[in-house]
Amino acid sequence: MKPFSKKIEKDEKTPLLKIRSLRKVFPSQKGILSANGAGAIAVNNVSLDIYKGETLGLVGESGCGKTTLGRLTLRLIEATSGQIYFDDKDILKLKRKELDLLRPRMQIIFQDPYSSLNPRFTVEQIVGEALLTHKRANKKNLGEKVRDLLEQVGLPGEYAKRFPHEFSGGQRQRIGIARALGLSPEYIVCDEPVSALDVSIQAQIVNLLKSLQEKNQLTLLFISHDLNVVNHLAHRTAIMYLGQIVEIGLTKRLSQSGDHPYTQLLLSAKPSINPREKTKSLPNIGEAPSPLAPPSGCAFHPRCPEANERCKKESPALIETADNHFVRCHLYD
């Protein structure tokens, strides 16, 4: 079994992002400290690669650190320690002017299509703001460029003169996607972009993202808690628990038979539209521990039906259990 770090170095694919030993600790309220006295550990020593032209799904429970990890890769929030290489440049070391030059290549689609759009701006102002800031358009051709972006996401160009309150949730999210596409980025963080939408609209947005990803060879980090959505869109999937990646591999394999006990529990909880499909009954595993007081050893051991004494004392490494498939669990060590 090979350590994860060595496998990365040997992979023939080209990573657009290389994340190494990334850690984020949020200062806690006065008088409340984590087990190590530092605060809430949101991202705990994460290392992974995101390859050019792929969609990487990031799945986990609420509060596991998914959104924090996504925003760290864009440097929307500052990391406590670690490295994030974008085309071999450590963005955590870039100065303000250098980072501003890199910004057009990295964009984000937010979760809430209502709060992410300024209600006082028209669609043309919302989508066109970045175009003007980065000099990708001027006042004369701005309207034409915004209309073209709206048509790319399935909205009529004349909607550019309307305000956000005139649109449904699905239409608002299409506007958010158009805004993210405006600067022709290479990498987009999709932060649960369909979780606030009706199921029928979710399918439309997911299909739109899939089409845009293939057409423009975009690299996507798709954050979600819905395995069915991720299975439809992602090439690879990473499972996150309490700030750590506990399993990562090809989506097709992981969605059929996850190796980590936490992945297996997520798969057994996944709803099915097939009434004949048998589902396993879930054991009562309780609530996730607080990031202010993470457990010793394996982070999942207090809830794991397979836990033993070693799990309580020793933190497992991320090891390879199959080709390009990695699991953080003592059962495979």
pLDDT at 69 over 90: yes
Instruction: Say which amino acid occupies 315.
Output: S
In this predicted model, what pLDDT tens digit does every residue of 257-279 receive, in sequence order? 889 999 998 888 876 666 666 66
Per-residue pLDDT at 192: 95
What integer is the mean pLDDT of 165-189?
96
pLDDT band at 5 (very low <50, low <70, confident <90, very high): very low
Exposure string for 179-203, b = 16+ CB within 10 A, e = fewer? bbbbbebbbbbbbbbbebbeeebbe
Rounded-to-integer distance, Cα 52 and Cα 163, Å: 35
Q: What is the mean pLDDT of residues 120-147?
A: 95
Tell me: pLDDT of 8 over 70. no
pLDDT per position as a tens digit, 274-318: 666 666 666 667 788 888 888 999 999 999 988 999 999 999 999
The pLDDT value recorded for residue 278 is 63
pLDDT tier at 32, thresholds 50, 70, 90: low
> Quick check: helix, strand or coil at residue 281?
coil
Please tell me whether residue 115 adopts helix, strand or coil conformation. Answer: coil
Please give the domain boundaries of the chain with CATH numbers for all domains: 4-120+163-269+288-332 (3.40.50.300)
pLDDT reading at 12 higher than 80: no
pLDDT reported for residue 257: 82
Higher pLDDT, 10 or 68: 68
- Distances from the Cα of 64 to the Cαs of 48, 69, 164, 233, in angstroms? 16, 10, 31, 21
